[in-house]
Amino acid sequence: MTDLTELAKRRGFFLQTAGAYGGTAGFYTFGPQGAALKDNIENAWRDRFTVREGNMAVDAPTVLPEPVFEASGHLDTFDDMLVECPDCGESHRADHVVEDETDYEEAESLGPERVGEIIAEYEIVCPTCGAGLAGQAIEDFNLMFETNIGPGSSSPGYLRPETAQGIFVEFPQLAEYARHQLPFGVTQIGRAYRNEISPRQSLMRVREFTQAELELFIDPEEDEPDLSPVADVTAPFYSAAAQDADDGTATEMTVREAVDEGVVADPWIAYYLGVATEWYERIGVDMDRFRFRQHLAGERAHYAADCWDAESNLGDPDGEDDWHEIAGFAYRSDYDLSKHHEHSDEAYTVFKQYDEPVTVERPTVDPDMSALGPEFGGREVEGSEGSRGASGETASRAAGANDDGTVDEDGTVTVEVDGEPYDVPVSDTGFAVKEVTESGEHIVPHVVEPSLGIDRALYTVLDHSYREDEVDGEERTYLELPPEVAPTTVGVFPLMDRDGLDEEARAIAADLRERGLSVTYDDSGAIGRRYRRQDEVGTPFCVTVDYATIGEAEDPEEGEPREGDREETSTRTAAGGSRERSDPREDTVTVRERDTTAQKRVPIEELGETLEALRDGDLAFADL
């Protein structure tokens, strides 16, 4: 982690924000390389989860009014466990100090009381000053960032802790856009904010981060995914049962096997675990250091009926396990839409058409206002349950119906008038059971949610792509990034900054940029040094314009090849040897591949098309 963090700062991937003012924990600025890598990862996510899945994309505000989070439950339940040091006053996340100092892996699922007992049992001390934490209160700390909308404090709001609520709150309109046809999905990539107690481990736990979320709205009784596109995708599944077992480990199996054997109960969750497996491999995650872990009962979010995390193993690949959550896959049932349906003035439902109309008996109430009006006048009358126009069980209760649906004519029902209770004869409520023909019903859809952390994915990709080796007797550090996500696709160099090589190289760089390729131009220092700089930021290909390109077999002033990787003035075969040049003015350039340092000559007129094919995976370098 130290080596990677140093490289990230030195080469412009990410650095702590406001370092000139001492920095602020939990906030990072992405430099030129990091911003480009992040954009490419986001674009790969949009391609897979929005475009290829046929979903809609939205972009909601990062600040939402307080009622949204009252309805969602975040104000009451979005908490972490906090323990404060009695000596230095430093606050720590209690479950994390337990995990750091004991063999407990998922202390969050144990609850505050048990975490406090473990702190006392193991005599855990403050990580900052070493004072004992035994006996200190374990408190719930809400992670929401509060703000005010407009002047004063009359309109409180919160920075969103997830992008999901910006989708849920707009569901009625989004359902219109989808023509009320289930299933349909809505995606969003954007910033989210959590006031973490103790941010740590670089980008893996921060206070501002980027989420990429898909909310899929389904009819739970009818909608099933087509598993065939991912049925044979293999991944390690670490179930809750395996975690509870003394010798339990993750089990490698296909998505189809995970569903058939009941390891993953919901096929929609299984489908997206398969999609995510392919996507993570596509962006450069080492699948030997990757797994899916099922949440234990005590750690599931308040809205989740079931939840699986994608986890990556970071640090030394040959060392101890160091697993970190990088995504969550939750079956949120109808929790979110039901809450907003209950708290707002909108209907968070869709109309489900029956195959054929059905005739059913429905209890109704139709108050006799000729009897009730003179008694109550224009005052507001509210039934203890339901009101005029109510139907079904609610109507029966409102009219004082018996359990079997009948009503005693001499019975009464309690109503409130200006806050005062009154007994009203059931005969005046207009209660009746009527036959009605219905063509469908309004249902609250269920939600399946893959939620991926872009910052954590980026850090994982950097960690898993970090390499050290030796080339021509020199130590080399490079990032084995997939060409699709690498910040720069190609570096263009003149062998020498003279004799027309620089003009030719600049013209080639401009042509490649016109094609939409990400290009860096570098004419500073020995060619070998320039290769090393691009290797270190993960540039997959380098193009060198040499004397053969302009019609000279060698440097006319020296008569000998210039210093460098030894590759710049000869063309290597796939086996690593070299062949003599053809006639002068080849109209070709040297293309060097990062991982093997192998080189091949490519005609200039084919260069752009060749590099695009290499970047997109349509062509292998060995096949040039």
Q: What pLDDT is recorded for position 551?
A: 79
Structure tokens given for 457: 């994915």
User: Over 70: is that where the pLDDT of 578 sits?
Assistant: no
Residue whose token pair is 């008694």:
375
Long-range (24+ apart) CB contacts under 8 A made by 603-608 are 604/508, 604/549, 607/508, 607/511, 607/512, 607/543, 608/511, 608/512, 608/515, 608/517
User: Over 90: is that where the pLDDT of 128 sits?
Assistant: yes
Distance CA 259, CA 268 (A): 10
Over pLDDT 70: what percentage of the chain? 86
Q: What pLDDT is recorded for position 394?
A: 44
pTM of the model: 0.84
HSE-up of 344 (CA within 13 Å, CB side)? Answer: 23
Instruction: Map out the domains of the chain as residue ranges.
Output: 32-78+144-337+449-453, 80-142, 355-440, 488-623
Q: How far is residue 20 CA from its own chain's centroid?
A: 31
State the pLDDT confidence band at 386, using cuts at 50, 70 and 90.
very low
DSSP category for residue 562 = P
DSSP category for residue 297 = G
Distance CA 272, CA 269 (A): 5
Structure tokens given for 522: 């570098």
Task: Return the minimum-mean-pLDDT range out of 50-54, 337-341, 434-438, 612-616.
Answer: 434-438
How many beta carbons lie within 10 A of that of residue 358, not counting itself? 12
User: Over 50: is that where the pLDDT of 546 sits?
Assistant: yes
User: Over 60: is that where the pLDDT of 557 sits?
Assistant: no
User: Over 60: is that where the pLDDT of 125 sits?
Assistant: yes
User: Which CATH number is correct for 32-78+144-337+449-453, 3.90.950.10, 3.40.50.300, 3.30.930.10, 2.40.50.100?
Assistant: 3.30.930.10
415 backbone dihedrals φ, ψ, rounded to 5°: -125, 160
Helix residue spans in 226-380 (DSSP H): 240-244, 255-260, 267-283, 335-343, 369-376
State the pLDDT confidence band at 43, using cuts at 50, 70 and 90.
very high
User: Over 70: is that where the pLDDT of 404 sits?
Assistant: no
User: Over 50: is that where the pLDDT of 272 sits?
Assistant: yes
State the pLDDT confidence band at 361, using cuts at 50, 70 and 90.
confident
Tell me the CATH number for domain 80-142: 3.30.40.230
Q: What pLDDT is recorded for position 390?
A: 38
User: Over 60: is that where the pLDDT of 120 sits?
Assistant: yes
Domains 32-78+144-337+449-453 and 80-142 share a fold: no
Per-residue pLDDT of 328-357, as tens digits, reads 999 999 999 999 999 999 999 999 988 888
Task: Give the mean pLDDT of 424-432.
Answer: 73
Distance CA 305, CA 298 (A): 12
Question: In CATH, which superfamily holds the domain spanning 488-623?
Answer: Anticodon-binding domain (3.40.50.800)
Range among 7-16, 299-308, 395-404, 564-573 with highest mean pLDDT value: 7-16
User: Over 60: is that where the pLDDT of 299 sits?
Assistant: yes
Asked whether 572 and 600 are in contact (CB, 8 A), the reply is yes
Task: Give the mean pLDDT of 71-80.
Answer: 91
Q: What pLDDT is recorded for position 297?
A: 81
Residue whose token pair is 């695009």:
612
- One-letter identity of residue 3: D
Q: At what angle do helices 604-615 and 501-514 cross, to 10 degrees?
A: 50
Task: Give the mean pLDDT of 218-247.
Answer: 96
User: Over 50: is that where the pLDDT of 562 sits?
Assistant: no
Q: What pLDDT is recorded for position 555?
A: 56
Q: What pLDDT is recorded for position 302?
A: 63
Asked whether 497 and 546 are in contact (CB, 8 A), the reply is no
User: Over 60: is that where the pLDDT of 396 sits?
Assistant: no
CB-based contacts of 313: which residues, under 8 Å, 6+ apart? 289, 290, 291, 321, 322, 323, 324
User: Over 50: is that where the pLDDT of 282 sits?
Assistant: yes
Q: What pLDDT is recorded for position 581?
A: 40
436 backbone dihedrals φ, ψ, rounded to 5°: -130, 150
Q: What pLDDT is recorded for position 367?
A: 76
HSE-up of 456 (CA within 13 Å, CB side)? Answer: 25
Task: Give the mean pLDDT of 534-555.
Answer: 88
- One-letter identity of residue 149: I
Task: Return the minimum-mean-pLDDT range out of 11-15, 254-258, 320-324, 584-588.
Answer: 584-588
Q: What pLDDT is recorded for position 472?
A: 85
Helix residue spans in 227-266 (DSSP H): 240-244, 255-260
User: Over 80: is that where the pLDDT of 78 sits?
Assistant: yes
User: Over 90: is that where the pLDDT of 501 sits?
Assistant: yes
User: Over 70: is that where the pLDDT of 399 sits?
Assistant: no
Per-residue pLDDT of 187-221, as tens digits, reads 999 999 999 998 988 999 999 999 999 999 999 99
Q: Average pLDDT, whole number, for the chain? A: 88
State the pLDDT confidence band at 401, using cuts at 50, 70 and 90.
low
User: Over 60: is that where the pLDDT of 3 sits?
Assistant: yes
State the pLDDT confidence band at 303, using cuts at 50, 70 and 90.
low
Over pLDDT 90: what percentage of the chain? 72
User: Over 70: is that where the pLDDT of 231 sits?
Assistant: yes
DSSP element (H, E) containing 413: strand 412-417
User: Over 70: is that where the pLDDT of 576 sits?
Assistant: no
**Is the CA virtual torsion 317, 321, 326, 330 positive or negative?**
positive
